[in-house]
Amino acid sequence: MRSIDLTKTPLRELNASLHEQKDGTNETEWEVLNPRGQHAIAVGLDAPVTVTVRGSVGYYVAGMNKHATVIVEGSAGPGAAENMMSGKVIVRGDASQYAGATGRGGLLVIEGNASSRCGISMKGIDIVVKGNIGHMSAFMAQSGSLVVLGNAGDALGDSIYEARLYVRGSVKSLGADCIEKEMRPEHHEALAALLAKAGVTDVKTSEFKRYGSARKLYTFNIDNADAY
């Protein structure tokens, strides 16, 4: 295992070393010590490596991740795993706002709570939050799934497109054009697969409600002006 201590090694050197790893690298296990809230740790990875960050991180950890697994043994600042393409990012603690923003693939697991705008503009990423999520989550969410084991804040799924939202607890309010939808067998199946991928074994899919787009704002209509 390569161990990099960010009190001794500059961030630039860490990310450059990680970018040198290509598909088939035999340096697959990395740990980052003393992250101390630094921003942009392990961003732009493009190889099947596993990076364990031992502590809390600042903004944009694992941003634009491809193929790699990044584990944060602490909490994450804003924009964790933003625009992730593939791979897996696990935050053991809480995540600040915009977690998983614009993500296009892969799996983001937040074991604690996520703040506001979780999954904003998501485009294919799957996000599983074991705690609660804040307001305006899944705003303009285009594709992918957001699974919340706890509660959701105000205006969930405002202006949502085709993303699927599954919430086990309460939803404080739904945003414009977001409605509760029927959980059909295929949704139970898809949710079960997501929970299994995230290592969640102690909840049943029947405990969740599904939310998605009413598709009423997809084309302009002056009589919907209140919602614009």
Partner 1 sequence: MSYQNPPTTPRKSATFDDYTLSEIRRAAQTGIYDIRGAGAKRKVPHFDDLLFLGASMSRYPLEGYREKCSTTVTLGTRFAKKPIELKIPITIAGMSFGSLSANAKEALGRGATIAGTSTTTGDGGMTPEERGQSEKLVYQYLPSRYGMNPDDLRKADAIEVVVGQGAKPGGGGMLLGQKISDRVAEMRTLPKGIDQRSACRHPDWTGPDDLEIKILELREITDWEKPIYIKVGGARPYYDVALAVKAGADVVVVDGMQGGTAATQEVFIEHVGQPTLACIRPAVQALQDLGMHRKVQLIVSGGIRNGADCAKALALGADAVSIGTAALVALGDNDPALESEYEKLNTVAGAYDDWHEGRDPAGITTQDPELAKRLDPVRAGRRLANYLKVMTLELQTIARAAGHNHVHNLEPEDLCALTIEAAAMARVPLAGTSWIPGQGGL
- Per rule CB under 8 A, is residue 4 in the interface with partner 1? no
Q: Please report where in the chains the tokens 């609660």 appear, as a residue.
A: 132
- Per rule CB under 8 A, is residue 59 in the interface with partner 1? yes
Task: Judge contact between 208 and 180, C-beta under 8 A.
Answer: no
- The per-residue DSSP string of 194-223 comes to HHHHTT--S--GGG-EEEEE--SSSS--GG
**Selected range binding partner 1 among 41-49, 68-76, 174-182, 196-204, rule: CB under 8 A:** 41-49
Which CB sits closer to partner 1, 23 or 202?
A: 23
One-letter amino acid identity for 32? V
Q: Return the residue of 121, 137, 145, 205 that touches partner 1, per CB under 8 A.
A: 121
Q: Return the residue of 30, 60, 208, 211 that touches partner 1, per CB under 8 A.
A: 60
| Smallest separation (angstroms) from partner 1 to the CB of 31 | 19
Q: How many CA atoms lie within 13 A of 181 on its CB side?
A: 20
* Number of residues forming the site for partner 1 (CB under 8 A): 42
- Per rule CB under 8 A, is residue 140 in the interface with partner 1? yes
Coil, helix or strand at residue 55: coil
| Smallest separation (angstroms) from partner 1 to the CB of 155 | 15
One-letter amino acid identity for 150? G
Q: How many CA atoms lie within 13 A of 51 on its CB side?
A: 32
Q: How far apart are CA 157 and CA 22, in angstroms?
A: 37
Which residues bind to partner 1, rule: CB under 8 A? 11-12, 15-16, 19, 39-40, 43-44, 46, 58-60, 63-64, 66, 78-79, 82-83, 85, 98, 101-102, 104, 117, 120-121, 123-124, 139-140, 142-143, 159, 161-162, 218-220, 222-223
